[in-house]
Amino acid sequence: MSTILIVEDNEKNMKLVRDILQHDGYATLEATTGREGARLAAEARPDLVLMDIQLPDVDGIAVLREIRANAALDAMPVVAVSASVMPDEQQKIVSSGFDGFITKPIQLKLFREAVQRCLAEGRRPR
């Protein structure tokens, strides 16, 4: 069973993502701040991280940098989850090293496909 870390500060978004993933048979870990997300990623080494960009302490891009700085976590795919729909903003997020981008509000079919693809393929080649 794959384990997925959800880093999300909005309670409703967290519940939605958790419910979908658990329904699909994944184990979930949860963090509501960037610092907590970075700590859990390092300690638990999940198979996938779903990272909100707007977090209360540090943004998701800073957390991604911290994860990528740890060589032991290099193979861990991290997908940005954001309500930002401006193409230039999405490009900035993806070019910062995320392995994918999921827009909010979540579209169930696209969300499930992105999760399955990342778990199957791992990190995108750089």
CA nearest 31: which of 12, 10, 2, 1?
10
First to last CA, the chain: 27
pLDDT value, residue 93: 87
What are the φ and ψ backbone dihedral angles of 52, each rounded to 5 degrees? Answer: -65, 150
Overall domain count for the chain: 1
The domain containing residue 71 runs over which residues?
3-121
pLDDT tier at 9 (50, 70, 90 boundaries)? Answer: very high
Q: Is residue 106 one of the residues assigned to a domain? A: yes
What does pTM read for this prediction?
0.95
Joined tokens for residue 48:
């996938």
Q: Is residue 83 one of the residues assigned to a domain? A: yes
Q: Is residue 126 one of the residues assigned to a domain? A: no
| Pairing between β-strand 48-52 and β-strand 3-7 as defined by DSSP bridges | parallel
Whether 24 and 96 have beta carbons less than 8 Å apart is answered as no
Give the mean pLDDT of the chain: 93
pLDDT tier at 15 (50, 70, 90 boundaries)? Answer: very high
Question: Tens digit of pLDDT for each residue in 66-102?
Answer: 999 999 998 999 999 998 768 888 888 889 999 988 9
pLDDT reading at 14 higher than 90: yes
Joined tokens for residue 94:
């993806």
Q: Is residue 43 one of the residues assigned to a domain? A: yes
Q: Residue 38 belongs to a domain with what CATH number?
A: 3.40.50.2300
What are the φ and ψ backbone dihedral angles of 18, each rounded to 5 degrees? Answer: -60, -45
